[in-house]
Amino acid sequence: MVALRARELRADFEAVFDRLAGGGDLVWVTAGKKRFLLVNEPELVAEVLVQKSTVLVKPRSQAIDLGPPRAEPPPAVDIAALRRAVSHGLAERPAVAVEAVRAAAAAETASWRDGAEVELMPLLRRIGIATAVRGAFASELGEEEVRRLDGVLRWFDGSPRVLPARRLSRHSLRRRLMERELAQVAEALVAGADRSVPSELDALAVGDVPSLAGELLLGAVGPLVQSAAWLVIRFGSEADEAARLRAEWPATHRTEAFVREVTRLHPTNPRITRTALVDTAVGGEPVPAHSRVVLNVNAISRDPRFFEEPERLLPDRWLAGRPHKFAYLSFGIGERRCLGEALAVAALTALLPALAAGWELRPDAFRATSAGRRQPAEGTRLAVSVC
C-alpha cells in the first residue's frame, strides 16, 4: 500500500505513476478519500479490459477521482447500442478524413513563407476540427462555431485530470459554462450535417441526449489534436527518421509505423480507469465493489520485456506488426476500445506528408503542458522553411 498526498497527484500524476511503476505488478494507492489499484503489468490488461469487462466497467469520467468510493450511476443511454451506431457511422469515414486533413493542411500551408514561424497548437486545432467535423461527422461549421470550439477545446485541455473530494468549486461552475458552449456548437454541427451518409452522428438515434453530439465532438477532436502535436514535434526533432519518412512518400507504410510509435510514447490517455460493480479480483488481488482499477498506460507501453529500448522512438518495431497484443493501449482494447482508431490513424498518417512534403518543420523553444492534457504548450512555435 502506498499513501500519497492529494496535492502530489494533482501536481503531476504521470510522474507519480512513473515512480510507482517499479513498485510491482499491482500497487494499492490511497489518496484523499480514495483507494485504487494501480496495474503496471501488461499480462493483466486482458483480465481487466476483456475477461472482466462486465464487472470492471468504464466510469463516466476517466479522471482520477479522490472522493469517497461510490456506486457508478447507470449510463444515460444504452452503451452497447451507442457503440454499434458509432461503429456503423465511422466504418466508411477514414478515407473522407484523409481528404479532409489534406485539404485543411493545404489551406494552412498556402500562407506559409520560407523562414516563417507558426503557432503549433492553434494550427493543429484548426486542422483537427476540420478533419473531425468533415471526416467523422459529415458536417461543416462556420467560422464563429470553429472559434468557439477552439476556446472550448483549450479549456478542456487544461482541465485537471485529478478530481478533489470536494465537488463544488469555481472549476466545476466554469465547466458547466463550457458544456453549454459546447452544446451550442454541437447544435450547429447537427444542423450542418449531411444525414444521408453514415457518420458518427448515427449515434444520435440511440437516445435523446442533448449533450451527446458535443461529447462525441470533443472526444474526436481533443485526442486527434494532441496526437497530431506530438507527431509534428517528434518529426521535427528526429532528423534521421524524418528523412526516412520523406523517402517513402507518397507511400506511407513507414509513416503509419511512426504514428503508432509516437502514440505509444505519447498516449492520449496515460491511464485507463475501471470501476468494480461488485466484489472481484485482479491478478488474484481482491478488489471490493466500487473500487477503482487504474491501468498505468505509460508503464505498460514502455515495458522493456516487450519493447526493446522502450524510451527510444523506433518505428521499425511496428513494421512487422503489433509488438505485443496487450502492451499498446493508446486506443484501448476490448469492448470499449476507441471506435475512431482507424479514422485517427489514417488522418494522422496523412497529416505528415500533407504538412511536411514541401516544408522543413523545426520546433522552437518547445515545452510540454504541466496540467491537463500532456501535449505541447500554447505558444509552442514551428519554424518552417522550404525543403
Domain definitions of the chain by residue range: 2-386
C-alpha cell recorded at residue 279: 466484489
The CB density around residue 364, as the number of other CB atoms within 10 Å, is 11
Q: Does residue 241 surpass a pLDDT of 90?
A: yes
2-386: which CATH number, 2.60.40.1220, 1.10.630.10, 3.90.76.10, 1.10.1200.10?
A: 1.10.630.10
Tell the residue number behind the cell numbers 482494447, with chain if given: 333
Tell the residue number behind the cell numbers 485526442, with chain if given: 223
Taking residues 130-152, what's their average pLDDT?
97
The pLDDT value given to residue 166: 62
The pLDDT value given to residue 165: 64
C-alpha cell recorded at residue 168: 463544488
- What is the tens place of the pLDDT at every residue in 184-231? 999 999 999 999 999 999 988 766 555 789 999 999 999 999 999 999
The pLDDT value given to residue 169: 67
Q: pTM value?
A: 0.94
Compute CA distances 356 → 188, 250, 251, 326, 344, whole Å.
32, 12, 14, 32, 18
List, in order, residues 6 or more apart from 318 with CB less than 8 Å away. 256, 257, 260, 261
Q: How far apart are CA 361 and CA 376, in angstroms?
A: 15
The burial class, CB within 10 Å (0-12 / 13-18 / 19+), for 16 is: buried
Q: How far apart are CA 48 and CA 114, in angstroms?
A: 51
Q: How far apart are CA 206 and CA 202, in angstroms?
A: 8
The pLDDT value given to residue 71: 85
Taking residues 91-116, what's their average pLDDT?
97
C-alpha cell recorded at residue 31: 489518496
Residue 381's beta-bridge partner residues?
Answer: 119, 364
What single string gives the DSSP state of each residue in 142-172? -HHHHHHHHHHHHHHHTS-SEE-S---SHHH
Taking residues 365-385, what's their average pLDDT?
91
